[in-house]
Structure 1
Amino acid sequence: MTVMEYSLVGDVGGTNARFALVERGSVRPQSIEILPCGNYANLNEAIIEYLRRVGVSEVSEACLAVASPVRGTRVRMTNNHWQFDTEEIRQQFGWRAFKVINDFTAMALGVLHVPEDNLVHICGGPGDKHRPRLVMGPGTGLGVSGLVPTRNGWVPLVTEGGHVDFAPTNDNEMSILRILQGRFGRVSVERILCGQGLLNLYQAHAEIQGIAAPLDAPENITAAALEHVDSLASHTLGHFCEILGRTAGNAVLTLGSTGGVYLCGGILPRVLDFFLQSPFRSGFEDKGRMRPLVEFTPVFVVTEPYTGLFGAAEALANPEV
C-alpha cells in the first residue's frame, strides 16, 4: 500500500484533537492518536506531528470535524486558540480535497457505522429503518442532528436544536426556569442538558429546597449520584435524564425520526447504569396521543468513543456533505 492510498480524518475539540488514517473507500479509522490542542500553535503543527508519529509522509485528502461553526474557508475554534484557512491548509499539504464539517454533523454520519456492540438499547420498539434518525448528545453543549434517508444514502442535518426553549411541565420546573432566567435571561434547553447545565440544575434545585449546594463541578455531581452519597446530586441527575427524555421525544415528533434515536457524547456512557434506571423513558414516552409513535421508536446510547472519526471518514465520500 502506498501512502497516497490513505486519507486523514480528525475530530478536533476544545481540548484534544483525535486523528486517524483511513484506507481509500473505508470508514474504519486506523492509527488513532489523541493530541492535546494546547501543545500546538495551530492545526498544521498538530497534523505534521501526527503524520510523523504514524510514519506517513503524505496523504491524498482529509476531512476534519471541528467543534465550531463552519462558514466559508476561515475556521476559528470555539474553545481553543486554533484558527486556520482550509484552502491554505489544503495547499500546504498538497491534498486534492479538504473538507471541514461541524463535529455533530460528523457524529450523525458516524452513527451509520458504529458496531452494534457499541449501541445500548434503552427503550422503544423496532422503529422504521426507512425513516429519519435523530442524533443527540449532551456534552460540553447539547448537540442535535439528524439523518434523512435518500435513494443514494443519508443526508445529515445541521441544526442548533440544543438552543430551543426549555419547556417546564410542572410548578417545580417553573421555579427552575425563573431561577435560570435570573442568571441567563432566555433559557435554552442546553442551559440544563450539558455538563455545565447539570451544575445549573443542581444549584437551582438547592435554591428551591433552601439547602447548600456544595458540589461545584458536573463530574463531582455525577460521582456523588453514582456513589449514592448525595441525595441532591442523585435527584438532579435523575431530573437531567427525565428532561433529556422529554426533549428527545419532542425532537422525534418534530423530525418524524421513527428510524431511531441515538444518544451520543461523553456523559451518558459514564453513567449508563444510572441512566438505564432513570426517568428518561417516562419522559420520552409521555407524549399523550402520540405515545404509540414514540413507544415504536428505538432509543440507543452510543458507547463508541470514536464516532466522530467514523463520521469524518463517511463525509469524505458523501456528496451531501
Structure 2
Amino acid sequence: MIEHSRQALVGAFGARYVSLAIADIDELSVSNFALLSTADFEQPMQAVERYLASIPRCPDKVSLALAGTVEGDAATFTHRDWKLSRNDVRAATRADHVCLVNDIEASALVLPNLSAYDLTELHAGAAVPYGNKAVMMAGAAVGIAGLVRADKEWAPVVGEGGFQRFVPTRDDLAELGAGFLAGRYVACDDIFTGAGLAALYAALVAKAKVPPKSSGAKQIAAAGLSGEDPVAARALQIMATWLGRVAGDIALLYGARGGLYLGGGLVANIIPALQTGHFREAFESRGERSAYIAKVPVRVIKTAADAGLRGAAIAIARSLSSHGAAHRPVARAAS
C-alpha cells in the first residue's frame, strides 16, 4: 500500500464464515486476510477481537458487510442469533468511523470494479456501457441484488431474493419424484446451496433405487465433475439448468444488460458444469425475449476476488464521501 493511503479494517460475515482483512479503500486492495468460522464465536465482535490480536494495529476506519439487516446504527444477523451496533464496533476497535452494510449490497457495489482476473466468463454477450447489473450469490444461503446507474453513481437495489419461491417443473418432478421438497414453501435458499445440492442428489438416488456413492455437497460436486458418480453428474446437470432458469429471470427483472454475475461457494465448486449447454439453454430460453437475454454477459466471481471485503471498502469510502471526504475509489471501466 502506498504511504498515506487510507486504510480500513474490513470484514464479511456470512452464514458460516467470517473473512477479515486490512483494505486500502482507494486502491481496493486487501492484505492480512483471515478466514474464521462463525461457529467458534458467541458474538460477532469476538471474531474481530481475535483478528486484531494478529495484526500490529487497527486502522481508525472499520467497515463490516454482514448477512442480515442493517437499520440505522444497528444490524441483525439472518443466520445467527447475533446483533451488532456501531458502538459495539467502536468499543472493540476504537475506530473513528464505522460502516455496517448488508453483504449482498457490498457484493453489488464491487461489480464495476471487478477485472477479468476476478471473473470466469460463462457467456460473453454484448454488454451495454453503464447498463444495469445483477448479482446472485449462492453458497450457504442465497442473496440477489441489482446495481443501477443513477446520475454518476452506482446504486445497489437489494431485496430478499433468497426467499423467492422456486417451483420445479413437471419434468423435474417426474425425474426426482413428486415428494421432492413437497409439503412446504420451497425458496431459492432451499435449492441453490450445498444443502440443496445434497437434497437433489438424495432424491435422484432414491428414485433410481441405487446406493449413494457420495455424501456432502463438496464430494457430490467433485464426484459429478470427475464422472466417477453418474448420479452426482446428473445432479450437477439439473443444478446448472435450475441456476440458468433463475439467473435468466434475475437478468430480465433487473434488465441486466451490463452483466449478470454469479458467486458464492456453490457456484465456485461447479463452474465446469455451468460451462455446458445446460445452464446456457435454460438461461436463454425466454420465448420472444430470447434474443434480448442472449446479449446479457454472464460471469462467475472467483472466490479470490474478495468481493465482500472490497465491497465493504467501497461502502465505507462512500460513507466518508458523504461526510465530506474528497477521495473515492476509481471504478475500472465497465465491461
TM-score, normalization by structure 2: 0.85
Q: 1:189, 1:5 → 2: CA distance? A: 38
**2:21 aligned residue:** 20
> Cα distance, 1:79 vs. partner?
4.0
> Deviation string for 1:64-85 (max 9, x for gaps)?
0112333454444444565433
**2:329 aligned residue:** none
Residues 135 and 261 in structure 1, CA contact (< 8 A), matched pair in contact too? yes
> Cα distance, 1:8 vs. partner?
1.2
Taking a change above 3 Å as real, the CA distance of residues 92 and 172 of structure 1, as seen in their structure-2 partners, is: closer
**1:123 has 2:113 as partner:** no
Give the stretch that moved more between structures: 266-275 or 157-166: 266-275
**1:42 aligned residue:** 43
**2:313 aligned residue:** 313
**1:100 aligned residue:** 100
> Deviation string for 1:241-271 (max 9, x for gaps)?
0110011111111111111111111222333
1:70 match: secondary structure: strand
Taking a change above 3 Å as real, the CA distance of residues 117 and 89 of structure 1, as seen in their structure-2 partners, is: closer
Q: 1:124, 1:7 → 2: CA distance? A: 35
**1:87 aligned residue:** 87
**1:154 has 2:154 as partner:** yes
**1:228 has 2:227 as partner:** yes
Percent sequence identity over matched residues? 26
Q: 1:177, 1:8 → 2: CA distance? A: 49
**2:203 aligned residue:** 204
Residues 197 and 239 in structure 2, CA contact (< 8 A), matched pair in contact too? yes
Written as runs of structure 1 = structure 2, the 5 A alignment for 1:162-311 is 162-173=162-173, 176=176, 178-182=178-182, 185-213=184-212, 215-305=214-304, 306-311=306-311
Taking a change above 3 Å as real, the CA distance of residues 72 and 180 of structure 1, as seen in their structure-2 partners, is: farther
Give the stretch that moved more between structures: 192-201 or 241-250: 192-201
1:130 match: secondary structure: coil
Q: 1:238, 1:300 → 2: CA distance? A: 18
Residues 17 and 35 in structure 1, CA contact (< 8 A), matched pair in contact too? yes
**2:326 aligned residue:** none
Residues 215 and 221 in structure 1, CA contact (< 8 A), matched pair in contact too? yes
Report the AA paired with residue 200 of structure 1: A
> Cα distance, 1:24 vs. partner?
5.1
Report the AA paired with residue 197 of structure 2: L
TM-score, normalization by structure 1: 0.88
Q: 1:143, 1:266 → 2: CA distance? A: 12
> Cα distance, 1:214 vs. partner?
5.1
Residues 144 and 160 in structure 1, CA contact (< 8 A), matched pair in contact too? yes
Residues 124 and 295 in structure 1, CA contact (< 8 A), matched pair in contact too? no
Report the AA paired with residue 94 of structure 2: G
Taking a change above 3 Å as real, the CA distance of residues 49 and 227 of structure 1, as seen in their structure-2 partners, is: same
Residues 142 and 193 in structure 2, CA contact (< 8 A), matched pair in contact too? yes
**1:66 has 2:66 as partner:** yes
Residues 218 and 269 in structure 2, CA contact (< 8 A), matched pair in contact too? no
> Cα distance, 1:287 vs. partner?
0.6
Unaligned runs of at least 5 residues, structure 1: none
Give the stretch that moved more between structures: 103-112 or 32-41: 32-41
